């Protein structure tokens, strides 16, 4: 028992490891924010493309489907390897000499865009067709109807599942340590290898949990608020 | 030349022929009422007129312009045709005022102030000025439907299509909405309305068309249709309506 505490929960090692792990965790935060912003934008664009009407848009729709199927099915760690080691090996000017941070953002964005596209798409499909019809009958174009009527309603509805995906993204920022991004997990590993003590991982875990809890509670709160509202309008 | 002219319009959904060789003329400033059992094609007919549905055969001319030849600017056409649905279809994420100003802002390109002034005037007219900043789900069905009418009117349409706009309302809320339609009729708005309110149709209509299984079975003045229908099917339909206490 004593040994377990010393190996994983040593107060001394906690203090010593903290600065480095904390510095690494800030990299996680940056990865998360940059990737999230990119994902929010790209996924919305893809979801809209998947919903485009007409035969002319079929190739675009197909491309979007292939993309989401591919990246939802591929483990993030593989994508990270391919991006983080593959792109530099290509030796192409402009894409082969980026920082590991950039490759990490690209890998996270590629994978999470696929998940979030599906979330948006479910939201867009949940808006009753009569809403679009009402918008179009005012003379709004297809794009205006999407922009002002369909998407705002869709986004409101999918905020809780979006937040859930972002909790996942937060945690997965640790995975890009495999391509050498000096984030919290990698810093923890460095410490544990140097001092043969695993408390540094506990530090990282605590930081991740502390970050996740508010988001998780906020998501619960939104879901509950929606249920109450729907019950109120149903009666 | 009539304002709306349908010439042998046919509309199918797959195998189902929902409208068959429908011809209809609506003069400017007139009110035409479509009556008929549910499923007879009233909604489809209205939706064809603002191209929410594409007709399979026949031609439709609105305001001197043929709209069924595929070369028409759909959005420009819809700008001059207002439509109001049975289920109101207000935008739930916008306030009443925003519902009414969306079209004027984005389609008529009015600035924020002009569109707001127009909207407030309309809300005043429908007696809901004080609800401007409420969301639709805080309004009664009748109030929502009046807002939907105001939203359509804010586009300053030349033609209004009303699709059973009182059918989803509690009986005590119907009269407010009908009063508004009556007022519109008195201002000379050209209107085509599908309705189950027979006494209202009799009162406001210049012409009544009885639709039966996608065919205009009989049309005429309200007096003629309601007091002296010639077609057996019209008589049978009105008989059922009277039995249901709606006339
Ligand atoms: N989008 C659609 N797809 C297939 N069938 C439809 C569609 N819209 C209407 N119909 C069918 O067309 C017929 C006429 O419907 P509708 O025009 O709504 O009649 P009404 O308004 O007189 O009740 C009905 O049989 C209905 O089931
Ligand atoms: Mg109908």
Domain carrying residue A113? 2-234
What interface predicted TM-score (ipTM) does this complex get? 0.91
Distance separating alpha carbons of residues B48 and B70, to the nearest angstrom: 13
Say which DSSP state B108 is in: S
Residue bearing the CA closest to ligand 1, atom 6: B13
Q: Does the pLDDT at position A235 exceed 90?
A: no
What is the arrangement of strands in the sheet containing B81-84, beginning at the earlier edge strand? Answer: B81-84, B159-163, B190-194, B31-35, B207-212, B215-220
Mean of the pLDDT values across residues A61-80?
Answer: 96
Query: For residue B19, which atom of ligand 1 is closest to its CA?
Result: 14
Q: Report the candidate in A188, A208, A206 with the shortest Cα–Cα distance to residue A198.
A: A188
Angle between helices A11-50 and A151-172 (to 10 degrees): 150
Mean of the pLDDT values across residues B206-214?
Answer: 96
Mean of the pLDDT values across residues A166-182?
Answer: 91
Say which DSSP state B32 is in: E
Confidence (pTM): 0.90
Per-state percent for chain B, helix, strand, coil, to nearest 5: 40, 25, 35
Range with lowest mean pLDDT among A86-95, B28-37, B101-110, B194-203: A86-95
Spacing of C-alpha B220 from chain mean position: 19
What is the pLDDT at residue A106?
96
Dihedral angle sign, alpha carbons of residues A131, A135, B194, B174: positive
Mean of the pLDDT values across residues B92-117?
Answer: 96
Indicate which CATH number applies to the domain containing A45: 1.10.3720.10
Dihedral angle sign, alpha carbons of residues B211, B212, B216, B222: negative
What is the pLDDT at residue B219?
95
Q: Tens digits of per-residue pLDDT, A204-217?
A: 999 999 999 998 89
Distance separating alpha carbons of residues A50 and B195, to the nearest angstrom: 38
Closest residue, chain B, to A155 (C-alpha): B93
Dihedral angle sign, alpha carbons of residues B25, B31, B37, B39: positive
Q: Does the pLDDT at position A153 exceed 90?
A: yes
Structure confidence at residue B39 as a pLDDT band (50, 70, 90): very high
What is the pLDDT at residue B246?
66
- Asked if A131 reaches chain B (Cβ–Cβ under 8 Å), the answer is yes
Mean of the pLDDT values across residues B37-45?
Answer: 95
What is the pLDDT at residue A234?
57
Q: Does the pLDDT at position A113 exceed 90?
A: yes
Q: Does the pLDDT at position B100 exceed 80?
A: yes
What is the pLDDT at residue B185?
95
Cα A202 to averaged position of ligand 1 atoms, centre (Å): 63
Mutate to test the interface with B, among A54, A129, A135, A139 (most CBs of B within 10 A): A139
Count the Cβ atoms, other than its own, within 10 Å of residue A182.
Answer: 15
Q: Does the pLDDT at position B194 exceed 70?
A: yes
Q: Does the pLDDT at position A231 exceed 80?
A: no
Angle between helices B112-125 and B141-153 (to 10 degrees): 130
Give all domains of chain B, ordered by start, each with its CATH number.
4-87+160-243 (3.40.50.300)
Which segments of chain B does DSSP mark as H helices, in order? 42-49, 74-79, 96-106, 112-125, 141-153, 171-186, 198-204, 222-227, 232-243
Range with lowest mean pLDDT among A16-25, B3-12, B155-164: A16-25
Q: Does the pLDDT at position A133 exceed 80?
A: yes
What is the pLDDT at residue B244?
80
Distance separating alpha carbons of residues B247 and B241, to the nearest angstrom: 7
CA A44 to each of CA A4, A121, A130, A179: distance values in angstroms, whole numbers, following the listed order: 47, 8, 21, 28
Q: Tell me the chain A residues in contact with residue B107 when contact means C-beta distances shorter than 8 Å.
A: 138-140, 144
Residue bearing the CA closest to ligand 1, atom 5: B13
Q: What is the gyration radius of the CA atoms in chain A, in angstroms? A: 22
Mean of the pLDDT values across residues A61-83?
Answer: 95
| Chain B residues with a Cβ under 8 Å from any Cβ in chain A | 50, 52, 75-76, 78-79, 81-83, 85, 87, 89-93, 102-103, 106-107, 137, 151-152, 155
Mean of the pLDDT values across residues B204-225?
Answer: 95
What is the pLDDT at residue B247?
64
Q: Does the pLDDT at position B223 exceed 90?
A: yes
What is the pLDDT at residue A233?
65
Q: Does the pLDDT at position B162 exceed 70?
A: yes
CB contact under 8 A, A134 and B76: no
Residue bearing the CA closest to ligand 1, atom 16: B41
Cα B20 to averaged position of ligand 2 atoms, centre (Å): 16
Structure confidence at residue B137 as a pLDDT band (50, 70, 90): very high
Mean of the pLDDT values across residues B44-65?
Answer: 95
Percent residues over pLDDT 70 in chain A: 99
Structure confidence at residue A229 as a pLDDT band (50, 70, 90): confident
Structure confidence at residue A95 as a pLDDT band (50, 70, 90): confident
How many domains is chain A built from? 1
Distance separating alpha carbons of residues B47 and B5, to the nearest angstrom: 14
| More confident site: A92 or A190 | A190
Distance separating alpha carbons of residues A5 and B244, to the nearest angstrom: 82
Mean of the pLDDT values across residues A118-127?
Answer: 96
């Amino acid at each position: 028992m004593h040994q377990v505490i010393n190996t994983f929960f040593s107060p001394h090692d906690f203090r010593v490891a903290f600065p480095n792990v904390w510095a690494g965790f800030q990299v996680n935060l940056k990865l998360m924010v940059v990737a999230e912003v990119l994902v929010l934008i790209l996924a919305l664009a893809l979801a809209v493309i998947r919903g485009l009407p007409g035969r002319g848009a079929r190739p675009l729709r197909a491309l979007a489907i292939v993309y989401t199927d591919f990246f939802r099915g591929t483990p993030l760690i593989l994508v990270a390897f391919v991006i983080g080691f593959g792109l530099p090996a290509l030796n192409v000017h402009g894409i082969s000499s980026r920082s590991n941070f950039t490759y990490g953002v690209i890998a996270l964005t590629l994978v999470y865009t696929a998940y979030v596209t599906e979330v948006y798409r479910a939201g867009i499909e949940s808006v009753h067709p009569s809403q679009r019809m009402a918008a179009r009958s005012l003379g709004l174009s297809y794009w205006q109807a999407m922009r002002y009527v369909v998407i705002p309603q869709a986004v409101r509805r999918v905020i809780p599942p979006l937040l859930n995906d972002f909790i996942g993204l937060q945690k997965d920022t640790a995975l890009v340590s495999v391509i050498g991004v000096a984030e919290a997990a990698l810093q923890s590993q460095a410490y544990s290898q140097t001092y043969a003590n695993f408390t540094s991982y506990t530090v990282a875990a605590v930081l991740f949990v502390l970050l996740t809890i508010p988001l998780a509670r906020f998501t619960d709160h939104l879901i509950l608020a929606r249920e109450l509202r729907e019950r109120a309008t149903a009666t | 030349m009539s304002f709306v002219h349908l010439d042998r319009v046919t509309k199918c959904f797959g195998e189902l022929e929902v409208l068959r060789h429908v011809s209809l003329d609506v003069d400017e400033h007139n009110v035409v009422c479509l009556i008929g059992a549910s499923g007879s094609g009233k909604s489809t007919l209205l939706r064809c007129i603002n191209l929410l549905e594409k007709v399979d055969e026949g031609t439709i001319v609105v305001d001197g312009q043929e709209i069924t030849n595929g070369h028409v600017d759909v959005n420009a056409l819809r700008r001059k045709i207002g439509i109001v649905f049975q289920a109101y279809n207000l935008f739930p994420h916008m306030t009443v005022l925003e519902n009414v100003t969306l079209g004027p802002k984005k389609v008529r390109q009015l600035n924020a102030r002009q569109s707001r002034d127009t909207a407030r005037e309309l809300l005043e007219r429908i007696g809901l000025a004080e609800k401007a900043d409420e969301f639709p789900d805080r309004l009664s069905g009748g109030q929502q439907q009046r807002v939907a009418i105001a939203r359509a009117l804010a586009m300053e349409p030349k033609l209004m299509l009303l699709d059973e706009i009182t059918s989803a309302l509690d009986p005590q809320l119907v009269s407010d909405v009908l009063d508004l339609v009556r007022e519109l009729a008195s201002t000379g708005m050209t209107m085509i309305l599908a309705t189950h309110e027979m006494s209202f149709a009799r009162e406001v209509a210049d012409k009544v068309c009885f639709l039966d299984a996608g065919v205009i079975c009989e049309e005429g003045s309200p007096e003629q249709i309601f007091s002296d229908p010639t077609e057996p099917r019209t008589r049978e339909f009105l008989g059922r309506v009277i039995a249901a206490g709606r006339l």
